[in-house]
Amino acid sequence: MPPDSDYQLVLLANGAFSVRSLAYGETMHPGIGPAAEAETLYVNQLRLRERRAASAGEFVVWDVGLGAAANATAVLRATREIPGRLRLASFENTTAPLAFALQHQAELLSLADYETPLRAMLTSGQARFRDGRQEVEWTLTVADFPAWLAEVVPTVAPPPPHAILFDPFSPAKNPAMWTLDVFTRLFRRLDPQRPCSLATYSRSTMTRAALLLAGFFVGAGEATGTKEETTIAANTLDLLARPLDGRWLERARRSDSAEPLGEAVYRRMPLSEANWKRLREHQQFRNVR
Ligand SMILES: C[S@@+](CC[C@H](N)C(=O)[O-])C[C@H]1O[C@@H](n2cnc3c(N)ncnc32)[C@H](O)[C@@H]1O
């Protein structure tokens, strides 16, 4: 795991600061900056305000890759004036980026309101607090997420999510987080009776194919900053504004990089015959056969 010195502040073109991991050679939220990207890509696309407001009981968000906590704090800020209960379950394999971010709050402005619970994440991995009109229970699981998915029994895991912020580093640099196995195990953690959507910045064919083969419905997401399109997946079609269609399926068939990652090693390959057959038979494409 990288030590604190493996992180640095980066000033983006629009004047916002973000955190860069030297070990991965990647900047978190590189396009429009942490607060704006968290709001556009995750809060708005997953319709978190409306869905939190409409949920009768606890609304559960899984924050995969807590990092410098821009996504987590964006969710809190967006929902704080809605009466009710939020359960935020963050996952990370190192608290180093959060510790680094807390040392640089003057630049990473979005953290200021949540310094106390963020410090609790570092020390105990849990916090319960009232935020505006909302009761929040926040936990941080510090673990290798793929191993956690494979090993931890549902009875001791956070409740199944209504929304997932899926924000590891890129498939090329962080392939262990983007395998078909990870998405399959993640899908199995969902409650079929609880509508759940997942947003991620990757729009790659191999990521979308992996999500589909894992059992999700998959749609195109909005542009954010430098990304012309992102991805939304869900366990029910109603949560997708623009489901992938037959044209996407045809492009995937011809793509030289559509086969999901089978192991934690990045490579590009066309779809195998077996996965092409499974994709074609996916419920989402029922009307295009
Ligand atoms: C792009 S950054 C997340 C940025 C963060 N969501 C934010 O809003 O500041 C990706 C994060 O994924 C974490 N990560 C990478 N591999 C992981 C793994 N195997 N298990 C858990 N977390 C992992 C990294 O440590 C890193 O903090």
Given this model, what pLDDT does residue 1 score? 46
Q: 198 pLDDT exceeds 50?
A: yes
For the segment 96-103, the average pLDDT, to the nearest whole number, is 96
Q: Is 187 a pocket residue for ligand 1 (Cβ < 6 Å)?
A: no
pLDDT tens profile 239-276: 999 999 999 999 999 999 999 999 999 999 999 999 99
Given this model, what pLDDT does residue 2 score? 45
Q: 226 pLDDT exceeds 80?
A: no
Q: Is 259 a pocket residue for ligand 1 (Cβ < 6 Å)?
A: no
Q: What percent of the chain has pLDDT over 70?
A: 98
Pairing of strands 59-64, 26-27: unpaired
Which of 77, 169, 185 gets mutated to test ligand 1 (max ligand atoms within 8 A of its CB)? Answer: 169
More confident site: 245 or 30: 245
Q: What is the pLDDT confidence band of residue 223, given thresholds at 50, 70 and 90?
A: confident
CA of 106 to the centre of ligand 1 (A): 22
Q: Is 144 a pocket residue for ligand 1 (Cβ < 6 Å)?
A: yes
Q: What is the pLDDT confidence band of residue 224, given thresholds at 50, 70 and 90?
A: confident
Q: Is 94 a pocket residue for ligand 1 (Cβ < 6 Å)?
A: yes
More confident site: 91 or 1: 91
Q: Is 31 a pocket residue for ligand 1 (Cβ < 6 Å)?
A: no
Q: What percent of the chain has pLDDT over 90?
A: 88
Q: 3 pLDDT exceeds 50?
A: no
Q: Is 169 a pocket residue for ligand 1 (Cβ < 6 Å)?
A: yes
Q: What is the pLDDT confidence band of residue 115, given thresholds at 50, 70 and 90?
A: very high
CA of 65 to the centre of ligand 1 (A): 3
Q: Is 70 a pocket residue for ligand 1 (Cβ < 6 Å)?
A: yes
Q: What is the pLDDT confidence band of residue 225, given thresholds at 50, 70 and 90?
A: confident
Given this model, what pLDDT does residue 122 score? 97
CA of 92 to the centre of ligand 1 (A): 6
CA of 2 to the centre of ligand 1 (A): 12
Q: Can you list the domains of the chain with their CATH numbers?
A: 33-288 (3.40.50.150)
pLDDT tens profile 155-194: 889 999 999 999 999 999 999 999 999 999 999 999 999 9
For the segment 197-221, the average pLDDT, to the nearest whole number, is 97
pLDDT tens profile 33-79: 898 999 999 999 999 999 999 998 999 999 999 999 999 999 999 99
